[in-house]
Amino acid sequence: MLSKKADDLERSKGELERKIAERDKSSNEVEQEKIILEEISKANEKKASGMRRKLSYTIILSVAVVAGGFASYSYYENQILLNVVHVGNYNSNYVIKNLRGDIVNTYVSWNVASGTALTVNIVNQAGVTPDKLFAVKDAVLSKDPITLENSLLNKVPPDISATYYKGWEGALADAASKKTEFFIPQQFKITDDPNGAGDIVIMLTSDLNPDGLSGYTKDVADGNQILKSDITIYNANELSADQLGAITRHEFGHAMGLAHSTAPEDLMHATIQTGYPYISQCDIDAITGLYNGDKTSQVVCQN
């Protein structure tokens, strides 16, 4: 019995030692797994940190590129829209021929039915290039507004901005936003009839005016109603696209019934002196007044 007891104790001891060994082994495995997991975690954190830094650099670079691109585009856009136009010695003459005698009124306007589109016939006698021809059409058809600061036109206060227009369709739509006695034409149909047919005819000629004029507008009127307007732009083949656009803008103002402006910096001044010959709020207000029965068509700028 003692021998058997001794054997049982020996077996129990062996079993206990085996269990202790397994436990130690399991503990070691757990420790090893823990170490491995910690290493993996550190590696993942390092990788994630690197990706975050890379993403941050990418975002910063993208923002810088977008900001630079936007600034470049804004600069480019401003250079186009706010391009200084050197017109040179530009002089204009505006005449109204009345069908019923020699009395010439200075407050004539179109009197057409609401919604009427006037036909503008551009006769390219000078053979100007397509880009220059586009500048002439754009001076009539453009609706694009331009924001100019007073400082650019030597107006006060210099830090105030105002809206100008590149073309008469946009300016006339602005003028027509106020109710007037007579309908303000706002739509124009461009043609190129060599026979000169049209409500408004713009003749681009290579001839030189003996009086040194760059542009000349003659409105044919019946009483105070314009029936037809003839615009002549001289030496057109020698003018740049910007110069042709500026002169067309000025003369088309006469075709709408405007006389000259009192302000040297305004588009409708008898001699264009501004480097930014666009249609001003003064011109728009004069149109609104003229088509509302004012007895003057002179453009007066208070600012």
pLDDT digits (tens, 9 = 90+) for 93-136: 888 888 876 666 789 999 999 999 999 999 999 999 999 999 99
Q: What is the reported pLDDT for 63?
A: 45
Tokens describing residue 113: 């039915």
Tokens describing residue 50: 């690197």
What is the average pLDDT value for the chain, to the nearest integer?
82
DSSP 10-63: HHHHHHHHHHHHHHHHHHHHHHHHHHHHHHHHHHHHHHHHHHHHHHHHHHHHHH
* Band of pLDDT at residue 33, cut at 50, 70 and 90: low
Residue 61, CB-side half-sphere exposure with 13 Å CA sphere = 6
Q: How many residues can be counted in the chain?
A: 303
- Give how far the C-alpha of residue 288 lies from the chain's centroid of Cα atoms, to the nearest Å: 24
* Band of pLDDT at residue 290, cut at 50, 70 and 90: very high
Who wins on pLDDT, 66 or 199? 199
Name the pTM for this structure: 0.72
| C-alpha dist (Å) from residue 215 to 87, 110, 140, 199, 209 | 12, 21, 16, 18, 9
Q: What is the reported pLDDT for 59?
A: 52
Q: Which of 275, 265, 271 is nearest to 283 (CA)?
A: 265
Average pLDDT over residues 256-269: 92
Sign for the pseudo-dihedral over CA of 234, 240, 241, 242: negative
Q: What is the reported pLDDT for 41?
A: 63
